[in-house]
């Protein structure tokens, strides 16, 4: 890295500022803004960070390769969306969810956008909640921007202990800290995030009036999620979000079907027909809720069947990754040689699970006679039309992030932050996690980038390494609601491509409030720990 | 200020071309990736710079049509 100075620090932040200004202020699409930001990052890296052109090419290729995994999910999720949409199953689901929640719109947002998306995050992650639940909410009649923002916020708390613990495992492995201690503090921060997420969704839906209306529901749901996640964080952190989501869904199932709780939590404001246990579908046949939901049942079955059984290890041995040579900048920022960069476990990748579920869903719909002849062409056309803009967005943004990471810009940004704040660093430690997730689109990658750095800084400043690392992953989890890659995933699957800036404007406030709250609580815990 | 007919026609053309251009750009990234990767594998090859230039061209098209 070049020496830390105002010039180098401000130049490191420039690509991010350009990206945000173009998307938020000028309402450019993610692809267009990402393209310009990549050029800016390239020039800064070349002329101020000593990155030669071959290294810049290598970094950009690494960025491109890392999108393959996410694009696989996007194309699959879009196929799932069109499969369900074209049979008319969405109308059926809309009617059922509407009836179950007595038409209470806020409760629908909380149950689907928060609890259901947390459950999906628990087993799959990697943007799946956004890709699956966003369109589902939209089909329930919610405006697409609200649907996307809700799921982005709703699933975020579950990221650290989601994806079968990928982010937490990365944190633990790189910090070398005891799992029990790390799980304890991470559980506290993540539990706190669960409450904040619930209130954020209520506020997003109806301002402070929404918070008052949803208070009861949020307290019940968040307590269940946080409690179970904390118990699991101290025992089997890998399934923390999955078990928390499952238990809470079960609890809500009981509460919603056997009580009139939903009517008491808020005034019903139904805009969707609440009647009917069946609905007409494209093929002229009528289907029940379980048939309509079949592709999602298939997805849950496939995921559980693979991830929670020995099949995971058996199938997970087939990986595809590409080798990259070593490269270094003139200032010594090194990208080590790797035999298989960002390997993809082809048979257990979330994209594969979705495509298998789409196939199973298609077979079930066909056997039940609800799949129209010729609908396959409409499905393919819809998928291509929506996947291309999302693809170019991801390509440009991940190239920019990779150039920033490999040139040392990201590390210099964090170092500058630590230098300025001193012992008050604890207050901003989560922001480093947020930054990592914002740039890379993943809590796991944020932990990969910054865990070592956080440990280093904590030791240097005499702070608790365990608490600082727990704040790192909490920041990373919050950052997933803001990162352009997830936002682009949401806008593409909900058909509002080009509105990424609008979505980020909505989630940014809640993300910052959550990060600052975690910072304050962490600062207090460090002070108490002495 | 009112939009001139020429500007309007250009914007219309840009809008019409946007979807097919972006589709082609997406697929051409595979070619650009391959060329650059071969260049990196053969250290010092001109293909690295050529590939990076190709990526830059495709990215510029995204910036214009995106």
CA angle (A54, A58, A59) in 5-degree steps = 120
Please tell me the least confidently modeled range out of A280-289, A477-486, A506-515.
A280-289
Model pLDDT, residue A383? 83
Pair A232, A240: CB distance under 8 Å: yes
Question: Residues B49-56: what's their mean pLDDT?
Answer: 95
* A57:B33 CB<8 A: no
The H-or-E segment that residue A335 falls in is strand A334-335
Distance between CA A497 and CA A295 in Å, rounded?
Answer: 25
Percent of chain A with pLDDT strictly greater than 70: 93
How many degrees, rounded to 5, is the angle at CA A503 between CA A497 and CA A508? 150
Residue A223 has pLDDT above 90, yes or no: yes
The pLDDT value recorded for residue A278 is 36
What is the structure's pLDDT at A102?
Answer: 75
Instruction: Work out the pLDDT band at B57, boundaries 50, 70, 90.
Output: very high
What's residue A272's pLDDT? 31
User: Could A388 and B19 be called an inter-chain contact, meaning their C-beta atoms sit closer than 8 Å?
Assistant: yes
DSSP state at residue A3: P
| Complex ipTM | 0.92
DSSP secondary structure, A248-295, as one string: HHHHHHHHHHHSSHHHHHS-----S----S-EE-TTS-EE-HHHHTHH
Q: Is the pLDDT of residue A387 over 90?
A: no
Cα separation, B24 vs A298, whole angstroms? 34
User: Which residue does chain B place closest to A28, by CA atoms?
Assistant: B66
CA distance B21 to chain A (A): 10
Q: Give residue-wise pLDDT tens across range A16-33.
A: 889 878 877 787 877 888
- A322-335 mean pLDDT: 91
User: At residue A275, does pLDDT exceed 80?
Assistant: no
Q: In chain A, what percentage of residues exceed pLDDT 90?
A: 36
Instruction: Give the pLDDT confidence score for residue A260 in this predicted structure.
Output: 58
* DSSP β-bridge partners for residue A280: A286
Whole-number mean pLDDT of chain A? 85
- The CA-based dihedral angle spanning residues A65, A69, A75, A79, taken in that order and rounded to the nearest 10 degrees: 160
Q: How far apart are CA A233 and CA A247, in angstroms?
A: 15
Per-residue pLDDT band for A285 (boundaries 50, 70, 90) equals: low
Span A295-320, mean pLDDT? Answer: 84
**CA dihedral over A494, A498, A501, A505, signed as positive or negative:** negative
Angle between helices A465-479 and A443-461 (to 10 degrees): 150
pLDDT of residue B2: 58
DSSP helix/strand/coil, A230 = helix
Mean pLDDT for A141-169 is: 89
Closest chain B CA to residue A57: B52
B1 against B58, higher pLDDT: B58
The secondary structure element, H or E, covering residue A319 is: strand A319-324
Mean pLDDT of all residues in A307-313: 82
The answer on pLDDT for A209 being more than 90 is yes
Highest mean pLDDT among A63-67, A171-175, A319-323: A319-323
Q: Is the dihedral of CA A452, A398, A427, A230 positive or negative?
A: negative
Q: A26-38 burial string, b = 16+ CB within 10 Å, else e?
A: eebbbbbbbbbbb
pLDDT at A261 over 60: no
CA-based torsion, A121, A435, A423, A454: positive or negative: positive
Q: A with B: how many residue pairs have Cβ under 8 Å apart?
A: 75
- Strands A327-328 and A319-324 turn out to be unpaired
pTM of the predicted structure, to 2 decimals: 0.75
Q: Is the pLDDT of residue A271 over 80?
A: no
Query: What's the confidence (pLDDT) of residue B3?
Result: 65
Cβ within 8 Å, pair B52-A29: no
Least confident range from A168-172, A437-441, B9-13: namely: A437-441
Name the residue facing A388 among B23, B55, B56 (closest C-beta): B23
**Cβ contact B26–A388 (<8 Å):** yes
**Candidate from A31, A61, A391 with C-beta closest to B37:** A61
Within the 7-66 window of chain B, which residues sit less than 8 Å (CB to CB) from chain A? Answer: 19, 22-23, 25-26, 29, 33, 36-37, 39-41, 43, 48-49, 51-52, 55-56, 59-60, 62-63, 66
Q: What's residue A276's pLDDT?
A: 33
Task: Provide the pLDDT for residue A349.
Answer: 83
pLDDT digits (tens, 9 = 90+) for B5-36: 778 888 888 888 888 899 899 989 999 999 99
Q: Do A399 and B55 touch (CB under 8 A)?
A: yes
* End-to-end CA separation in angstroms for chain B: 25
Rounded to whole angstroms, the Cα distance separating B56 from A149 reads: 32
- Which stretch, A45-54, A387-396, A420-429, has highest mean pLDDT? A45-54
CA A142 to chain centre: 20
Give A143 to chain B, closest Cα distance, Å: 24
* Sign of CA pseudo-dihedral B46, B49, B53, B59: positive
């Amino acid at each position: 890295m070049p020496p830390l100075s105002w010039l180098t620090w401000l130049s490191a932040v420039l690509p991010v500022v350009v990206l945000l200004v173009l998307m938020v202020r000028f309402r450019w699409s993610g692809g267009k803004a990402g393209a310009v930001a990549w050029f800016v990052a390239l020039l800064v890296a070349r002329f101020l960070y000593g990155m030669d052109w071959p290294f810049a090419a290598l970094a950009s290729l690494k960025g491109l390769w890392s999108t393959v995994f996410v694009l696989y999910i996007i194309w699959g999720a879009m196929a799932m969306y069109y499969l369900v949409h074209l049979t008319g199953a969405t109308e059926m689901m809309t009617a059922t969810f509407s009836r179950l929640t007595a038409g209470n719109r806020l409760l629908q947002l909380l149950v689907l956008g928060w609890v259901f998306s947390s459950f999906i995050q628990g087993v799959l992650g990697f943007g799946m909640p956004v890709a699956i639940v966003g369109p589902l909410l939209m089909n329930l009649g919610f405006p697409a921007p609200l649907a996307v923002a809700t799921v982005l916020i709703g699933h975020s708390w579950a990221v650290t202990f989601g994806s079968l613990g990928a982010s937490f495992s990365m944190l633990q492995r790189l910090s070398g800290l005891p799992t029990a201690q790390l799980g304890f503090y991470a559980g506290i921060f993540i539990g706190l995030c669960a409450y904040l997420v619930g209130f954020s969704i209520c506020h997003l839906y109806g301002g402070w009036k929404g918070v008052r209306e949803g208070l009861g529901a949020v307290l019940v749901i968040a307590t269940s999620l946080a409690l179970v996640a904390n118990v699991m964080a101290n025992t089997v952190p890998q399934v923390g979000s999955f078990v928390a989501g499952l238990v809470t869904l079960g609890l809500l199932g009981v509460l919603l079907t056997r009580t009139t709780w939903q009517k008491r939590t808020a005034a019903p404001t139904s805009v969707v027909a609440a009647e009917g246990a069946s609905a007409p579908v494209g093929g002229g046949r009528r289907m029940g809720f379980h048939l309509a939901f079949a592709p999602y049942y298939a997805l849950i079955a496939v995921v559980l069947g693979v991830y929670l059984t020995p099949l995971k290890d058996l199938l997970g041995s087939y990986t595809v990754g590409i080798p990259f040579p070593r490269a270094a900048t003139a200032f010594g920022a090194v990208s080590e040689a790797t035999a298989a960069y960002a390997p993809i476990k082809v048979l257990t990748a979330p994209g594969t699970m979705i495509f298998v579920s789409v196939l199973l869903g298609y077979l079930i719909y066909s056997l039940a006679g609800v799949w129209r002849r010729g609908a396959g062409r409409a499905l393919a056309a819809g998928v291509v039309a929506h996947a291309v803009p999302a693809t170019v967005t991801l390509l440009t943004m991940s190239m920019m992030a990779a150039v920033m990471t490999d040139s040392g810009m990201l590390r210099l940004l964090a170092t500058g932050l630590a230098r300025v704040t001193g012992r008050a660093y604890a207050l901003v430690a989560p922001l480093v996690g947020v930054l990592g997730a914002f740039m890379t689109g993943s809590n796991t990658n944020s932990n990969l980038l910054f865990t070592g750095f956080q440990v280093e800084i904590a030791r240097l400043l005499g702070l608790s390494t365990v608490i600082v690392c727990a704040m790192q992953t909490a920041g990373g989890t919050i950052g997933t609601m803001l990162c352009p890659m997830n936002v682009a995933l949401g806008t593409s699957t909900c058909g509002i491509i080009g509105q990424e800036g609008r979505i980020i404007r909505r989630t940014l406030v809640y993300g910052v409030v959550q990060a600052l709250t975690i910072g304050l609580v962490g600062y207090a815990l460090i002070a108490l720990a002495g | 200020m009112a939009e001139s007919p020429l500007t309007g026609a250009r914007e219309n053309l840009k809008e019409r071309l946007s979807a097919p251009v972006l589709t082609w750009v997406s697929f051409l990234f595979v070619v650009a990736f391959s060329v650059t990767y071969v260049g990196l594998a053969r250290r010092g090859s001109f293909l690295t710079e050529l590939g990076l230039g190709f990526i830059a061209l495709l990215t510029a098209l995204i910036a214009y049509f995106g």
